[in-house]
């Protein structure tokens, strides 16, 4: 190789100005590991790009104004009606701009997908422990995008100024109004006076098309930069360690795979926009504060908030000339922020409990951290039950049950359900760990039953491959941290005793019941034992199902 190699002229022109070889050197062949669950974040990123593209198209025709006009477009059912320019221009996009309805539907589907993908991506991060050091900040950035994405979605949903979204905004207005001291003031500042006023569409519009997308774009950049800097996490496996990352290079494999995946996501949202109706605002009619439709539902990501507000009993306090509406304060202004704060801070909470200060680049299998998995499932259950609460009327009408019963059931279920789900998921994870342990020490159940000369029935076990065995054992031995002696050698009480006790208790709760992987010695003993018995386990005489017997592992 000669040192005087030069870029071909057009590339040279760019390199002379930007030094692209220096930037590209490290990244062109950057390695990314392969796993289906790593695509979830990609879906979120791609739907964001689709949102920007389709959203820009829509702004060419959408008029963010609440000025009243008489509709004269081609949708005959609403002809002559008074409505805001925002709603009228949405009808124009739908009925008079070719491709308008398609793009509007792609935009809405992509928004729904964007938030769903971010949420599932967050769950993947959670259950595999990808949020641990050094990625806590990226967890926060991602969380921030999810939070902003939900607000962005809700505001965008309010822009067409149709009856359904107007009802949603009326509800939001009522919730804000419940805030202590500042409630009415906040409402008057946000809506420019009383609801509905004539300001919110133009204000929400600029927040929706510039402010929030701008912030999200900045956060996406930081998020991706950190992914590149930290390098992607990977699942443990042969040759995959804390110190390396194994996979395919960015160029060409991921350029083709990830680039192709963008087109796949775009293609699928376009097909959804073509074939599946979403938010048919022309059926709802223009916003009218004296009307509402039965079965009103927000977009799916607001459902849990709606559910919290629906199932909370009607408590209100009046004293000293003030009113505190607990029926909104608790389900709309306290529980949701508390819930999301807990989610945002989870990496720091778990880090404090485990006391773990090391970097982690190998992902946990959910079963290997049973308590975290249980907590996650408990959270999902809580969210899901609230979400179901958001459709309590539809459940009542579709299944022919009493609305009051559904609501009362959910009032208890949102508290008991997560506890039960936590416990079940945690025990389930521990059982899976035991199954792994047995697979390692006893091998694979072959289902082959052998009769010995003495008449004993036994099932043959086959040892698993070294690669699989290594994958099953390539994880940390996490034990709860000890609290240490009450006093030191000089009889001085250790500081912050109560806090440390609580921490040790939490740590035991987190890690004490988890099944540890076998030690080398245990593994050897198990294999020897298996060898003695010719990899065969005895069957008790009175058992009829062979399978069950083999699960009796000591």
Partner 1 sequence: MSDDKNLPVVKDDGEHHGAVEVAEPIPDPGLEPHEPRITDIDPKAADRVERQVSAMFGLATLLVLGACVAYFAIGRDSILQFGPLSGNANNMVMGLCIGLALFLIGAGAIQWAKKLMVDEEISEDRHAAHSSPEQIAEITEAFKQGTAESGFGRRKMIRNSLIGALGVLGLPAIIFLRDLGPLPGRSLYNTIWAKGIRVVNDVTDRPIKPSDLIVGQLVNAAPANLAPLQEENPTEYQNAKAKAAVIVVRIKPSEIRTKPGRENWGIDGILCYSKICTHVGCPISLYEQTTHHVLCPCHQSTFDLSDSAKVVFGPAARPLPQLPLALDSEGYLVAQSGFTEPVGPSFWERG
Q: Note whether 509 binds partner 1 by CB under 8 A.
A: no
Q: Note whether 407 binds partner 1 by CB under 8 A.
A: yes
Query: 354, 371, 373, 381: which one contacts partner 1 (CB under 8 A)?
Result: 354
DSSP symbol at 408? H
Query: 20, 30, 49, 120: which one contacts partner 1 (CB under 8 A)?
Result: 30
Q: Note whether 42 binds partner 1 by CB under 8 A.
A: no
Q: Note whether 322 binds partner 1 by CB under 8 A.
A: yes
Q: Note whether 530 binds partner 1 by CB under 8 A.
A: no
Q: Note whether 198 binds partner 1 by CB under 8 A.
A: yes
Cα angle value 520/522/524 (rounded, 5°):
70
The smaller minimum CB distance to partner 1, of residues 488 and 538, is found at 488
Residues 143 and 122: their CA atoms lie apart, in Å, by 8
Q: Note whether 102 binds partner 1 by CB under 8 A.
A: yes
The smaller minimum CB distance to partner 1, of residues 58 and 178, is found at 178
Q: Are 164 and 296 in contact (CB under 8 A)?
A: yes
Q: Are 463 and 443 in contact (CB under 8 A)?
A: yes
Q: Note whether 490 binds partner 1 by CB under 8 A.
A: no
DSSP symbol at 252? I
Q: Note whether 292 binds partner 1 by CB under 8 A.
A: yes
Query: 61, 262, 300, 546: which one contacts partner 1 (CB under 8 A)?
Result: 262
Strand pairing partners for 459? 449, 537
Residues 462 and 448: their CA atoms lie apart, in Å, by 10
Rounded to a whole number of angstroms, the minimum distance from the CB of residue 543 to partner 1 is: 31
Query: 80, 318, 455, 545: which one contacts partner 1 (CB under 8 A)?
Result: 318
Residues 179 and 185: their CA atoms lie apart, in Å, by 10
The smaller minimum CB distance to partner 1, of residues 250 and 384, is found at 250
Residues 80-99 close enough to bind partner 1 by CB under 8 A: 82, 95-96, 98-99
DSSP symbol at 302? G
Strand pairing partners for 317? 324
Question: Coil, helix or strand for 544?
Answer: coil
The smaller minimum CB distance to partner 1, of residues 268 and 345, is found at 268
β-pairing, 444-451 with 457-462?
antiparallel
Q: Note whether 209 binds partner 1 by CB under 8 A.
A: no
Q: Note whether 279 binds partner 1 by CB under 8 A.
A: no
Query: 41, 153, 325, 418: which one contacts partner 1 (CB under 8 A)?
Result: 325
Q: How many residues does the chain have?
A: 554
Residues 156-195 close enough to bind partner 1 by CB under 8 A: 167, 170-171, 173-175, 177-185, 187-195
Rounded to a whole number of angstroms, the minimum distance from the CB of residue 447 to partner 1 is: 25
Q: Note whether 253 binds partner 1 by CB under 8 A.
A: yes
Interacting stretch for partner 1, rule CB under 8 A, among 57-65, 228-236, 376-384, 443-451?
Answer: 228-236
Nearest to 309 by CA among 323, 325, 324: 325
> DSSP string covering 119-188, please?
HHHHHHHHHTTTTSTT-HHHHHHHHHHHHHHHHHHHHHHHTT-BHHHHHHHHHHHHHHHTSTTTHHHHHH
DSSP symbol at 68? E
Q: Work out whether the CA dihedral 343, 217, 186, 168 comes out positive or negative.
A: negative
Interacting stretch for partner 1, rule CB under 8 A, among 413-421, 451-459, 511-519, 537-545?
Answer: 511-519
Cα angle value 338/125/247 (rounded, 5°):
165
Residues 382 and 338: their CA atoms lie apart, in Å, by 13
Q: Note whether 73 binds partner 1 by CB under 8 A.
A: no
Q: Are 166 and 204 in contact (CB under 8 A)?
A: no
Placement of tokens 């076990």 in the chain: 461
Q: Are 360 and 242 in contact (CB under 8 A)?
A: yes
Query: 261, 300, 339, 457: which one contacts partner 1 (CB under 8 A)?
Result: 261
The smaller minimum CB distance to partner 1, of residues 342 and 479, is found at 479
Q: Are 391 and 308 in contact (CB under 8 A)?
A: no
Query: 9, 10, 295, 453: which one contacts partner 1 (CB under 8 A)?
Result: 295
Q: Note whether 285 binds partner 1 by CB under 8 A.
A: no
Residues 535-554 close enough to bind partner 1 by CB under 8 A: none
Q: Note whether 56 binds partner 1 by CB under 8 A.
A: no
Residues 219 and 431: their CA atoms lie apart, in Å, by 40
The smaller minimum CB distance to partner 1, of residues 317 and 446, is found at 317
DSSP symbol at 455? S
Q: Note whether 14 binds partner 1 by CB under 8 A.
A: no
Q: Note whether 481 binds partner 1 by CB under 8 A.
A: yes
Q: Note whether 314 binds partner 1 by CB under 8 A.
A: yes
Q: Note whether 508 binds partner 1 by CB under 8 A.
A: no
Query: 124, 361, 372, 537: which one contacts partner 1 (CB under 8 A)?
Result: 361
Give the interface size with partner 1 as a residue count (CB under 8 A).
Answer: 153
Q: Note whether 427 binds partner 1 by CB under 8 A.
A: no
> DSSP string covering 320-384, please?
TTEEE-HHHIIIIIIHHHHHHHHHHHHHHHHHHHHT--S---EEPPGGGSHHHHHHHHHHHHHHH
Residues 431-460 close enough to bind partner 1 by CB under 8 A: 440
Query: 120, 140, 246, 515: which one contacts partner 1 (CB under 8 A)?
Result: 246
DSSP symbol at 533? T
Q: Note whether 505 binds partner 1 by CB under 8 A.
A: no
Neighbours of 236 (CB within 10 A): 20
| CB-facing half-sphere around the CA of 421: CA atoms within 13 A | 19
Q: Note whether 363 binds partner 1 by CB under 8 A.
A: no
Interacting stretch for partner 1, rule CB under 8 A, among 13-21, 27-35, 115-123, 535-543?
Answer: 27-35
Q: Note whether 18 binds partner 1 by CB under 8 A.
A: no
Rounded to a whole number of angstroms, the minimum distance from the CB of residue 419 to partner 1 is: 24
Residues 490 and 281: their CA atoms lie apart, in Å, by 76
The smaller minimum CB distance to partner 1, of residues 312 and 379, is found at 312
Q: Note whether 266 binds partner 1 by CB under 8 A.
A: yes
């Amino acid at each position: 190789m000669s040192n005087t190699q030069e870029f071909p002229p057009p590339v040279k022109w760019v390199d002379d100005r930007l030094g692209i070889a220096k930037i590209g050197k490290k990244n062109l062949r950057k390695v990314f590991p392969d796993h289906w669950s790593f695509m979830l974040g990609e879906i979120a990123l791609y739907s964001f790009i689709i949102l920007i593209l389709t959203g820009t198209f829509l702004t060419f025709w959408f008029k963010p104004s609440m000025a009243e006009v008489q509709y004269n477009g081609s949708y005959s059912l609403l002809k002559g009606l008074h409505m805001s320019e925002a709603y009228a221009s949405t009808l124009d996009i739908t009925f008079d701009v070719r491709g308008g309805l398609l793009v509007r539907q792609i935009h809405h589907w992509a928004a729904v997908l964007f938030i769903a993908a971010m949420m599932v991506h967050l769950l993947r991060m959670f259950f595999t422990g990808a949020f641990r050091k050094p990625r806590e900040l990226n967890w926060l950035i991602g969380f921030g995008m999810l939070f902003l994405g939900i607000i962005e979605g809700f505001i965008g949903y309010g822009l067409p100024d149709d009856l359904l979204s107007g009802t949603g905004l009326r509800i939001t207005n009522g919730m804000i109004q419940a805030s202590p001291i500042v409630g009415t003031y906040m409402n008057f500042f946000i809506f420019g006076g009383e609801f509905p006023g004539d300001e919110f569409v133009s204000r929400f519009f600029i927040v929706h098309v510039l402010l929030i997308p701008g912030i999200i774009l900045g956060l996406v950049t930081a998020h991706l930069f950190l992914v590149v800097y930290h390098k992607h996490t990977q699942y443990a496996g042969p040759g995959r360690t804390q110190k390396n990352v194994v996979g395919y290079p960015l160029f060409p494999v991921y350029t083709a795979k990830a680039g192709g995946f963008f087109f796949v996501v775009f293609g699928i949202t376009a097909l959804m926009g073509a074939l599946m109706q979403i938010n048919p605002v022309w059926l709802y009619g223009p916003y009218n504060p004296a009307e509402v439709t039965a079965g009103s539902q927000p977009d799916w990501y607001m459902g849990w908030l709606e559910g919290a507000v629906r199932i909370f009993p009607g408590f209100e306090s009046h004293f000293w000339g003030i009113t505190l509406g607990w029926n909104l304060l608790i389900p709309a202004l306290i529980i949701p922020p508390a819930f999301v704060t807990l989610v945002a801070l989870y990496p720091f909470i778990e880090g404090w409990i485990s006391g773990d200060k090391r970097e982690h680049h190998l992902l946990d299998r959910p079963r290997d951290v049973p308590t975290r998995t249980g907590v996650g499932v408990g959270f999902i259950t809580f969210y899901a039950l609230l979400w179901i609460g958001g459709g309590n009327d539809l459940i009542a009408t579709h299944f022919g049950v009493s609305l009051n019963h559904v609501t009362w059931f959910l009032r208890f279920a949102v508290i008991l359900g997560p506890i039960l789900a936590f416990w079940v998921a945690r025990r389930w994870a521990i059982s899976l760990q035991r199954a792994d342990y047995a697979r390692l020490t006893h091998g694979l159940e072959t289902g082959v039953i052998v009769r010995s000369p003495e008449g004993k029935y036994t099932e043959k076990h086959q040892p698993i491959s070294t690669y699989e065995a290594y994958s099953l054992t390539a994880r940390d031995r996490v034990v709860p941290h000890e609290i240490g002696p009450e006093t030191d050698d000089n009889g001085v009480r250790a500081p912050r005793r109560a806090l440390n006790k609580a921490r040790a208790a939490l740590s035991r709760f987190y890690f004490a019941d988890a099944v540890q992987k076998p030690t080398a010695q245990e593994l050897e003993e198990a294999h020897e034992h298996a060898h003695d018995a010719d990899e065969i386990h005895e069957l008790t005489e009175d058992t009829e199902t062979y399978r069950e017997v083999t699960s009796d592992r000591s």
